[in-house]
Structure 1
């Protein structure tokens, strides 16, 4: 009897201990803040240096912009990007490479490139014989030109040498560079077309000292910095001590860095398997722990949420550039040689830009670089700093990272050119007829347009991925 009673008491005591432990664990877990509270608690309210809120951008992007933009970027005009991945790093010697095989970039075969992207546009196809190649051929020199003779002055030679044309091209390149914030990618002889859909941006394993060196050079040597700041990242509390232009520069770079990090953790290599036939296959998806590591305030000295807010700032800046250049972009031909698809793209672009213009609280660039000589000097410093960053992209040791880094930097540089070069200031993005405006004054190359749309597409995707991480944390 005593034995039975003792066992009963022992069992009851054991159950009581287990229940107590269970309740303690539940109490601890319920009192511990959720990851969503850590990463997103400050990601609300008004966006710094802008007039609209995070919630407004979330709804506008996820419901209106993202679906239209993803459909548009699948079209041939936007999916083929010409880029030079062979340019040597101009700042340091570095032979680092990414750690996994998925970072290789496969350029397009000649047969894969749409005919309209190979240099023959719909307008110049009929006048190809008037090119300089024909003009300075032997046949052209044998053609008699009666108008080149004058009874009073005698023979008038109106031809221009090939050397002179090359010099004119240098002059034009110099003039264009004065307004550009980054070097052109598609003019270099080593540039090749890449299919962006076959080379998606995702985690490549490129990390550690080589990647750190790139970002350290960008932040420490090219971002404007307040006094007495020594780390690569500027604390958000110290940004108020800088002028608006310098804050804008830092927020754009920080926002781009955040966006790239989000792309890496949302398309993370979860498993690396090899099929029976030997072809590499990987499973890609969101990595919540990695997101937590990169943005949780406890692991980022409190700065993670501010970095995410800078993503929204950059989104608004590029959204404003699209709205400002929309009269020009709506008149672009988007020519690839496929007449049916080209017309579909033109209609889709017009629809997309009408949505962009409908946003109620665009970024206001008019308050920047206003003033006299000092403002002009600051604007030139702003431009030169960004051009340096565009050159640093050649120091990235992973081809796929370099591809998407160059594209997003060129897209951002194109947005800055639209906002601050002054060439687009007379355009009215809100519906007035600008058909009489000379298009030549507002020239954007095809590579700049492709980079602008794809770079904004990356920001749009990042904001959608943030919502998915919110849901996962909940």
Structure 2
């Protein structure tokens, strides 16, 4: 979700950010230091001038809990894997594979309704930075059947040029793209997924999830509506397993979004300099151990959905007309689904059988499904277009996981077969990638907060 539409982003860059940019030597030192491994971070950072260290690291009074990230031990609450195992499989398998997978033609394009009316209140959100804009794909990039959809920006528009090598557009798609996929709506989400003139195809690599400058009451009340209007009074400690699980999913997703916002932050708008905002990262995520724990939970929940849908995903049609890329896509998918390391280390990331067991199970499931649909609908109230894009994608990814785990019996393929849209698969895998990357950032950057 660069969907920090749902964040309280009153914080700007750290007070010394503009001073960094006036000193090229110091700026170079920052880039170098942030690139080094965690093991080598502590010593070099202490060599910097005190005023520079204070600009990227909270004071002693505020920094005291980050080492807890490295001390998470035991089984992740409400899951079936321990923290050490999660870190191991993420580092060795999932993160590197997912990083490759989401760059493939099939997974880099997502369709969404980006111009929507908020069903809850007038949309008064304002974007004051160009990076709020979404760069829509040119007609030449898509099959004939997808042409003619309304666009707001041309491909030649400077707003569509992110200036990064990975932003280059792959133009090899043809009319076979997404052929044969279902258009059945997801019962857990609000959006009508039928492909029509309201849908916009977006290249996610050209629209990275990051800080956009979307601030104010419109941005603040999104998360407020999600938490306060969806029965989250004390979600972390709720005695009801289902409500506690639901709360943790949202909290973990929130932590991941906050992580990406802080890691890719606009430190100076005039020079268009981007980099990590360490104080923001601490204040939004690391300061609260339960948020990090919930990030692990959400990661395992989505991973369980992916592994449970293994039969479907291993046989799905990833054809985009580029045989080499498509074969690599399937190979990467199978590398995850058929990994003996994953199957032996964490065969059951989350046990969905623990849910809806009580006498009121059906009623509770219906209630929570309605809550999630409301959260999905809230994405139309996000005033920033790019934030809305990532909000819709990640909420759809979470909704797809809920659909896989709770709306079908994948073991009974004859009477109740699993049927996923291509957009759902794209959202599911991209969400898992976002969560995987957030875990990497948690461990790589938390030592920067501890160092004084």
For Structure 1 versus Structure 2, the TM-score category normalised by the shorter chain is: 0.7 to 0.9
Distance 2:273 2:211 in 1: 11
Equivalent residue for 1:447?
A: 423
Contact 1:322 1:415 in 2 (8 A): yes
Distance 1:34 1:388 in 2: 36
Answer yes or no: is 1:51 the counterpart of 2:80: yes
Match of 1:295 among 285, 290, 293: 285
Q: How many residues align?
A: 361
Task: For residue 382 of structure 1, report the CA deviation from its aligned partner.
Answer: 1.2
Aligned in 2, Cα 1:445/1:71: closer, same or farther, shift over 3 Å?
same
Answer yes or no: is 1:61 the counterpart of 2:48: no
Deviations 1:185-236 (Å, cap 9, x if unpaired)?
A: 45343111000000001001112311111111111112x33xxx4xxxx374
Aligned in 2, Cα 1:92/1:359: closer, same or farther, shift over 3 Å?
farther
Task: For residue 60 of structure 1, report the CA deviation from its aligned partner.
Answer: 1.5
Equivalent residue for 2:215?
A: 207
Aligned in 2, Cα 1:76/1:292: closer, same or farther, shift over 3 Å?
same
Distance 1:402 1:414 in 2: 18
Contact 1:411 1:452 in 2 (8 A): yes
Task: For residue 348 of structure 1, report the CA deviation from its aligned partner.
Answer: 1.6
The 10-residue stretch of structure 1 (184-193 or 414-423) with the greater mean CA deviation from structure 2? 184-193
Based on CA coordinates, which of the two structures has the bigger radius of gyration?
1
Aligned in 2, Cα 1:425/1:383: closer, same or farther, shift over 3 Å?
farther
The 10-residue stretch of structure 1 (95-104 or 308-317) with the greater mean CA deviation from structure 2? 95-104
Contact 1:182 1:413 in 2 (8 A): no
Equivalent residue for 1:391?
A: 377
RMSD: 2.8
The 10-residue stretch of structure 1 (284-293 or 39-48) with the greater mean CA deviation from structure 2? 39-48
Contact 1:410 1:451 in 2 (8 A): yes
Deviations 1:104-126 (Å, cap 9, x if unpaired)?
A: 1011011122679779548979x
Equivalent residue for 1:247?
A: 244
The 10-residue stretch of structure 1 (41-50 or 333-342) with the greater mean CA deviation from structure 2? 41-50
The 10-residue stretch of structure 1 (385-394 or 264-273) with the greater mean CA deviation from structure 2? 264-273
Distance 1:201 1:287 in 2: 15
Equivalent residue for 2:140?
A: 111
TM-score w.r.t. length of structure 2: 0.74
Distance 2:417 2:81 in 1: 32
Equivalent residue for 1:77?
A: 106
Match of 1:334 among 302, 318, 324: 318
Match of 1:364 among 327, 339, 351: 351
Match of 1:39 among 57, 66, 82: 66
Distance 1:272 1:400 in 2: 17
Aligned in 2, Cα 1:295/1:343: closer, same or farther, shift over 3 Å?
closer
Equivalent residue for 1:424?
A: 410
Say which SS state the counterpart of residue 328 (structure 1) adopts. helix
Equivalent residue for 2:8?
A: none
Task: For residue 40 of structure 1, report the CA deviation from its aligned partner.
Answer: 4.0
Equivalent residue for 2:28?
A: none
Deviations 1:26-67 (Å, cap 9, x if unpaired)?
A: xxxxx95883x4134266123221232222212211221111
Aligned in 2, Cα 1:122/1:270: closer, same or farther, shift over 3 Å?
closer
Distance 2:62 2:124 in 1: 42
Distance 2:330 2:310 in 1: 12
Deviations 1:243-268 (Å, cap 9, x if unpaired)?
A: 10000000001111111000000001
Contact 2:110 2:426 in 1 (8 A): yes
Equivalent residue for 1:461?
A: 437
Say which SS state the counterpart of residue 79 (structure 2) adopts. coil
Distance 1:391 1:204 in 2: 21
Equivalent residue for 1:470?
A: 446
Deviations 1:83-122 (Å, cap 9, x if unpaired)?
A: 1101111110022113322111011011122679779548
Answer yes or no: is 1:285 the counterpart of 2:254: no
Aligned in 2, Cα 1:357/1:398: closer, same or farther, shift over 3 Å?
farther
Task: For residue 307 of structure 1, report the CA deviation from its aligned partner.
Answer: 1.1
Equivalent residue for 1:101?
A: 130
